Structure 1
Amino acid sequence: MTSLHKYRSILLVFGGTVLTGWLYNKYWVNRRYLSTNQLMNGKTILITGGNTGIGYETAKDLLKRNARVVIACRNLIKGREAIENLLKETNCSKTNLRLMECDLSSLNSVRKFAKLFNEEERHLDVLICNAGLGYSPQKQTEDGFDSVIQSNYLSHFLLTNLLLDKLKKSESARIINVSSDLHRLVKKPIDWSDAFTQRNSSGMMGSYPVSKLFQILSSYQFKKNLSDDEHVNVFCLTPGFVSTSIKDPLEEKIGSLLSLIYYPIMCISKWVFAKTAQCGAQTSIYCAVEPSLDRAKSLYFQNCAVCQSSPLSIDPESARKLWDLSCQAVGL
């Protein structure tokens, strides 16, 4: 066989594989939506980062279920645009949708938001900690913590604790942390002296996997701390590989030469394999609305089903250590 025929065969196989993957993804993976018609009448749901991506699709679905949705985000201009679009797309009442400012890179902003929410909102039934950073150059926030660790984990930890009394007043409340299966990349023991600063973080994904591991560990400890008579349950989930606007973790890690190879591959991968934001939101929605989860002992979910997270993410000693350090870090 000549070289030309070899290359042609390779291209045909490659093209066929890409086309098959795209068809499977488009007509199977991205058609798997939650079938339940469970309504959320009278329920108030707070979603961080509900102005874009998975959070936006989660908010849209819950509004269609007659929930009252409060969207917390940093950029109020983008937030107002999202509110206008949600009102058009769902035909919901304006009273069922509220925008509030909360910058997760600032613990002071989180405290101000929580104070205002506790004063002005009558109740809270579901808290969905959805917002976060995919990647950021290694830098510290005004509070002295790694920006990804604070935005993805520490600020949500503080927010959840500040809103916990409001959640406990609900007949059946839920805390939902949107994590990632990339938490499995953390294999080494946690360096607790560097846990929130990540000065020694050297992985290609930066501190993102650690931040997602911390979300699950704290959810595990939250679940242990809450008694049955407090009527608050805690869940964590991975939305899977979703094509959203979240910044690519390798964007500033690779050189210009490697990017010529990397970005075409990533574009093809997203086009062929990634879920849409609407499909990626389904597990968040499931954890928020599924009635059978009221007293569920399960912690981690994927594709609207129970899934096992990594052994490190449910290590009792690590969970207790993280909890204590987190309380100190955010001043609880």
Structure 2
Amino acid sequence: PASMMQGKTVIVTGANSGIGKATAAAIVKLQGRVIMACRDQTRAEEAAQDIRQETGADSRQVMVKQLDLASLRSVRSFCEDIIKEEPLLHVLINNAGVYQCPYTKTEDGFEMQFGVNHLGHFLLTHLLMDLLKRSAPSRIVVVSSKLYKHGDINFEDLNSEQFYDKAFAYSRSKLANLLFTCELARRLEGSGVTANALTPGIVRTNLGRHVHIPVLAKPLFNLISRGLFKSPEEGAQTSVYLASSPDVDGVQGKCFADCKPMELLDKATDQEVASKLWDISEVMVGITT
């Protein structure tokens, strides 16, 4: 039904473009209220205006808040604000991602892709957990990628200091997303909060801005990509499904593609690795419990 998300508050990270923006718009169309958590305020405001115009929503139903996942300080300050201002939070969609960027470090010294795609979201989820539990039934949705298959978790070199390959580091961060979802789901059993992941498939977004395509090949690439790749709206379908559909009430720790559960490689559900990654991530982001 068109009012499926009425009365629900949803945070979408990286909602200023691509799948994130399409996810936010779709949730607003289902009458949900969306907080767009983005690094670039100007671009996020423009995206929010687009969504408001498209849906007729007001500035309370589509809000923008500053969140830079490459800064643990920013993550903490964002969560403090949310906890102060929001009585309830029904869905957290960990969507933002850095894709195959050159080697750089976050403010806290983490390799950028692992830092943003995994650690920033790890801390964000941790800090919003009590609010999600108070708002139960509630959901956490984690956007991964089929490219997780090429990744591995090298506990000796999580920051890729000994060796950096941008594609490999992306895959590692997306494998970390799945292991995180798996361990999170285990910890959330019986809490009324569910955690599930998805792989959106190849979508035409500006995530690939660091991937070099020769200028002359650009028009051809754009033409082919329209035939082969999903639109952001199509790419967002599974995120929206996991955020809103009654079909997945109570479903825990699964990964979906095209709105259906998918089989994962063993390395993405390895309980021992997932648990160890969790413990190390806590230390890295400075959670002391």
TM bucket (normalised to shorter chain) is over 0.9
Q: Residue 113 of structure 2 contacts residue 173 of structure 2 at CA under 8 Å; is this kept in 1?
A: yes
Deviations 1:150-209 (A, max 9, x none): 1111000000000000000113100001110000112x5x320211x1123444614100
- SS at the partner of 2:206? coil
> 1:259 deviation in Å?
4.5
1:244 and 2:212 are equivalent in the alignment? no
Query: Structure 2 matches for 1:23-34, cutoff 5 A?
Result: none
Q: How far apart in 2 are the matches of 1:249 and 1:265?
A: 18
* Residues 82 and 249 (structure 1), Cα distance of their counterparts in 2 relative to 1, 3 Å cut: closer
Q: Residue 217 of structure 1 contacts residue 313 of structure 1 at CA under 8 Å; is this kept in 2?
A: yes
Which residue number in structure 2 is paired with residue 181 of structure 1? 146
Which amino acid in the other structure matches residue 242 of structure 1?
Answer: V
| Aligned counterpart for 2:274 among listed residues 300, 303, 319 | 319
Deviations 1:99-147 (A, max 9, x none): 1000111110000000111111111000000111112111111201001
Q: How far apart in 2 are the matches of 1:124 and 1:204?
A: 34
* Residues 92 and 121 (structure 1), Cα distance of their counterparts in 2 relative to 1, 3 Å cut: same
1:221 and 2:221 are equivalent in the alignment? no
Which residue number in structure 2 is paired with residue 193 of structure 1? 156
- SS at the partner of 2:101? coil
Structure 2-normalised TM-score?
Answer: 0.94
Paired residue total:
287
Q: How far apart in 2 are the matches of 1:129 and 1:162?
A: 13
Structure 1-normalised TM-score?
Answer: 0.82
Which residue number in structure 1 is paired with residue 56 of structure 2? 91
Deviations 1:209-228 (A, max 9, x none): 00000000011000001131
Q: How far apart in 2 are the matches of 1:213 and 1:142?
A: 23
1:154 and 2:109 are equivalent in the alignment? no
Which residue number in structure 2 is paired with residue 296 of structure 1? 251
Q: How far apart in 2 are the matches of 1:303 and 1:49?
A: 21
> 1:298 deviation in Å?
5.0
| Aligned counterpart for 2:21 among listed residues 30, 50, 56 | 56
- SS at the partner of 2:167? coil
Which residue number in structure 2 is paired with residue 328 of structure 1? 283
> 1:250 deviation in Å?
3.8
Task: List runs of 5+ in structure 1 lacking aligned partners.
Answer: 1-35, 252-257
Which residue number in structure 1 is paired with residue 80 of structure 2? 115
Q: Residue 204 of structure 1 contacts residue 250 of structure 1 at CA under 8 Å; is this kept in 2?
A: no
Deviations 1:48-93 (A, max 9, x none): 0111111111111111111111000011111111111111000113
> 1:249 deviation in Å?
5.4
State the identity as a percent.
36
Alpha-carbon RMSD across the aligned residues, in angstroms, is 1.8
- SS at the partner of 2:156? helix
Which residue number in structure 1 is paired with residue 99 of structure 2? 134
1:42 and 2:4 are equivalent in the alignment? no
Deviations 1:226-247 (A, max 9, x none): 131x100001001101000113
Q: Residue 201 of structure 1 contacts residue 207 of structure 1 at CA under 8 Å; is this kept in 2?
A: no
Task: List runs of 5+ in structure 2 lacking aligned partners.
Answer: none
Q: Residue 185 of structure 2 contacts residue 253 of structure 2 at CA under 8 Å; is this kept in 1?
A: no
